Structure 1
Amino acid sequence: MIRLFHVSDVHFGAEDRAALSWFDRVVAEEQPDAIIMTGDLTMQARSHEFAAAAKWLEGLGRPVTVEVGNHDLPYFNPWSRFVTPYKRYGRLERMIERPLDIKGLSIIPLKTTARFQFRLNWSKGHVSLRSLQKSLALVEATPADDLKFIVCHHPLVEAGTRTSSSTRGGRRALEALADAGADAVLTGHVHDPFDIAHQVGGRTIRMIGAGTLSERVRLHPPSFNEIRVEGRNFVTVARVLE
């Protein structure tokens, strides 16, 4: 059995220290095969927040892959946001979209953040045609028998959570990914866990959202997802801090 820990929205700068300590203990005791981080590692994309996030992820001692969230783009420095948005990542940069070597499982990144959008709230999701085509090419290049998990920050369609994603191009992306053979889309952003099956063109694709390990909780306490994979079957368990 493959065991993945899917964690999101730690928001260093507003992190929940008790929740992080709990997660650290669970990782040390259970040694998952890999950790998938679906964005918003930081609160305000500051250098010291990225440094703290990198130290934390490196200290877990497990293979880690990271997708970028909207809070990981500079908000208060227009030059940095538009010209050098990833400059502050430091040593964390090598973990972004890092491939995971897990037999029978392919992890495929999809970018849902944008430096600029034609709407007031830039925190919401956006899947450009270019980003979608890049992910579809990666899906096509994976072994046919692999489970294919798409990893991005924003839910592609709404999941009934209190916080919305309002992802532009999200439904188009979900349909295209399902048609290409993707099995699940792992996301964050809304700070509450969910696992919803969508029927798209005769195929089932799962939308799986992780909660948060920050102080910015919504309906659920701090949590992360454990995904257990056996062959082509997988189940999601929301692990909640009590």
Structure 2
Amino acid sequence: MIRLFHVSDVHFGAEDQAALDWFAGLVHAEQPHAVIVTGDLTMRARRHEFEAAAKWLEGLGRPVTVEVGNHDLPYFNLWARFVTPYKRYQALERMIERPLDISGVSIVPLKTTARFQLRLNWSKGYVSNRAMDDALAAVAAVPAGNLVFVACHHPLVEAGTRSSGSTRRGPQTLNALVKAGAHAVLTGHVHDPFEIDHSTPAGTIRLIGAGTLSERVRESRPSFNEIRVADRDFEAVVRVMV
């Protein structure tokens, strides 16, 4: 059985240290095949927050892939946001949007953040043409027979959680991903876990959302998802800190 730990919204700068230690302890004890982080490593994209996040991720000692969240774009420095938004990621560069292939499971990145949007709330999701094309090309390159899990920050459609992703072009993206052969989409952003089967014109896809390991909890306590894969079947088990 393949076991993947799916974690999101760690928010260094507003992190829950007890939750981080709990998660790291489980990683070291149980040795999952990989750790998937679906965005918002930091609170305000400050350099020291990225450095702390990089140190924590490297300390896990497992293969890691990280998606960019809206909190990971510079918040106060507009020049940095528009011109060099990812400069502070240098310590994490090899983990960012890193595709993974693990014993019949392929993890494909999809960018859902935007430096600018034509709406007041830039924290919400947006899938550009380029982001969709890159993800579809990555899905097409997956070895035949693999399960395909797409990892991104924002839920592509609403999942009934208190917080909203409000992702523009999300439904179209889901339909295209199903056509291309994706089996599930792993997300964060809303700080509460969920798992639903979502129907599109092209077929059904599983949507799996992770909670948070930060102090910014919503309806749920700090948690992450353990995704268990056996042959072609998979399920997400929510692991909650008690």
- Regarding TM over 0.5, the answer is yes
| Equivalent residue, structure 2, for 1:232 | 232
Aligned length: 242
Q: TM-score, normalised by structure 1?
A: 0.98
Write out per-residue CA displacement over residues 42-78 of structure 1, whole angstroms, 9 at most, x where no aligned residue.
0000000000000000000111000000000001101
Bigger CA drift: 71-80 or 96-105?
A: 96-105
**RMSD of Structure 2 on Structure 1 (CA):** 0.8
8 Å CA contact 1:51–1:90 kept in 2: the answer is no
| Equivalent residue, structure 2, for 1:221 | 221
| Equivalent residue, structure 2, for 1:11 | 11
| Equivalent residue, structure 2, for 1:112 | 112
| Equivalent residue, structure 1, for 2:204 | 204
Pairing 1:26-175 to 2, within 5 Å after superposition? 26-175=26-175
- SS at 1:101's partner residue? strand
Measure how far apart 1:98 and its partner are: 1.7
- SS at 1:148's partner residue? strand
Paired letter, 1:4: L
8 Å CA contact 1:37–1:65 kept in 2: the answer is yes
8 Å CA contact 1:179–1:201 kept in 2: the answer is no
Paired letter, 2:37: M
Structure 1's consecutive aligned runs of 4 or more residues displaced over 3 angstroms after TM superposition are none
- SS at 2:93's partner residue? helix
- SS at 1:23's partner residue? helix
Paired letter, 2:181: G
Measure, in 2, the Cα distance between the counterparts of 1:102 and 1:58: 19
Percent identical among aligned pairs is: 73
Measure, in 2, the Cα distance between the counterparts of 1:88 and 1:201: 40
Gaps in structure 1 of 5+ consecutive residues: none
| Equivalent residue, structure 1, for 2:180 | 180
| Equivalent residue, structure 1, for 2:190 | 190
Q: TM-score, normalised by structure 2?
A: 0.98
Write out per-residue CA displacement over residues 167-215 of structure 1, whole angstroms, 9 at most, x where no aligned residue.
0000100111011110000000000000010122362201100000000
Measure, in 1, the Cα distance between the counterparts of 2:19 and 2:216: 12
Measure how far apart 1:232 and its partner are: 1.0
8 Å CA contact 1:179–1:200 kept in 2: the answer is no
Write out per-residue CA displacement over residues 12-33 of structure 1, whole angstroms, 9 at most, x where no aligned residue.
0000011011101111110000
